Structure 1
Amino acid sequence: MEERRQHSRHGTEMQLEVFDLNSGQRLGRIVDLSADGFMLFSDTPHTADAVLECRLVCTSSTAQVQEVRLGADCLWSRPGADGQHCWAGFHIIDLAEDQAKALESLLARL
């Protein structure tokens, strides 16, 4: 499979949760993160090609960055091996300048 990522992915020991910005619904937990996107582990399936406005929330008390707001496009979604969870890949498509700096700071800590 051809590697199309422009930035390296970072696995995380931090607890990074993703929430829908409009509804507040929890979308899942980030498994890995890059400047371009993230992979999400979720209790509910996501629809490929869906565009979401999200909040990435770091629940670690030691984190300097507590939240990053962004727009993301779901590139793919697959059921987990247990049939109860889902994996999904998202591409970051909208990120304000201040939020890009917050994401950069978060990535530097991973």
Structure 2
Amino acid sequence: MDDRRQHSRHTTELSLEVLDLHSGTRLGRVVDLSADGFMLVSDMPLEADSVWECRLVLGAPLGDIHEIRLGADCLWSRPGANGQHGWSGFHIIDLADDQAEALEVVLQHI
């Protein structure tokens, strides 16, 4: 498989839930994270080639960081074994400077 990542992804023990910014719908939980993307495990299948405005909500704040808001493109989506859970890969496409700083703090803690 062609790996086009520019930054290494890190598996996280932090609780990072991903919510749709507009509806508040839970999209899933982050299982690995980098400065330019993340992989998500979810209960519902997500559509590949879909664009989302997301809130990455930390289970426990890191200092004054409670969440990170970003835009992400779902590059791929695969169902889990026996119809349980789904896996999706996202590329971060929109991230304000202050949110990029918050993401960097989170990455330093994983």
- Do the two structures share a fold, i.e. TM-score over 0.5? yes
Tell me the equivalent position of 2:75: 75
Tell me the equivalent position of 1:40: 40
Structure number with the higher strand fraction is 2
**Deviation by residue 1:44-70 (Cα, 9 ceiling, x = unmatched):** 000011000000001025x23210000
Deviation at 1:82, TM superposition (A): 2.9
**SS of residue in 2 equivalent to 1:74:** strand
Structure 2: runs of 5 or more not aligned = none
AA at the equivalent of 1:106:
V
AA at the equivalent of 1:39:
M
Tell me the equivalent position of 2:25: 25
**Deviation by residue 1:56-90 (Cα, 9 ceiling, x = unmatched):** 001025x2321000000000000001312100000
Tell me the equivalent position of 1:49: 49
Q: Distance in 2 between matches of 1:52 and 1:97?
A: 18
**SS of residue in 1 equivalent to 2:60:** coil
Q: Distance in 2 between matches of 1:3 and 1:24?
A: 32
Structure 1: runs of 5 or more not aligned = none
- State the percentage of identical aligned residues: 69
Structure 1 stretches of 4+ moved >6 Å: none
Q: Distance in 1 between matches of 2:31 and 2:66?
A: 17
